[in-house]
Structure 1
């Protein structure tokens, strides 16, 4: 290994903006259990499944239809 490296001719990663960002959100336990069960059936991590679901909603610009009971 070298003592020093020259990065003066380095190029920024063009995919860096598309990397995932870690956040903290509060999710109901029932929702997490649902995605964990579904992820076991599909053989993929539940966090990846939640991410795919949210990304699909954002790509299709789905909006939640909320109506409050009086």
Structure 2
């Protein structure tokens, strides 16, 4: 270990930033948090990853719903 360190070019903040990840603060209902913590405890992993996976799944559902709606509208317009 050195006797002295030079911190003149030091910066405050996170030491390591994961690419593609953003730290956010979010308020969740207690039962939701308990559910995902329970899943993580039962099956392994962590509850934050489980919540992220659920959100990604919902994104896919929403995207599929929009696609189905657009297809229906196009079919209706083409048949008119």
TM-score normalised by length of structure 2: 0.51
Measured after TM superposition, the shift of residue 41 of structure 1 is 1.3
Q: What residue is the counterpart of 2:46 in the other structure?
A: 45
Deviations 1:8-62 (A, max 9, x none): xxxxxxxx5xx12111111011110110001111101000000000011012217
Runs of 4+ in 1 over 2 A off after TM superposition: none
Instruction: Return 5+ residue gaps in structure 1 as ranges.
Output: 1-15, 64-70
Unpaired runs of at least 5, structure 2:
1-18, 66-80
User: As a proportion of its length, which structure holds more helix?
Assistant: 2
1:55 counterpart = 2:56: yes
Q: Show the counterpart of 2:71.
A: none
Number of aligned residue pairs: give it.
46
Q: Radius of gyration: which is bigger?
A: 2
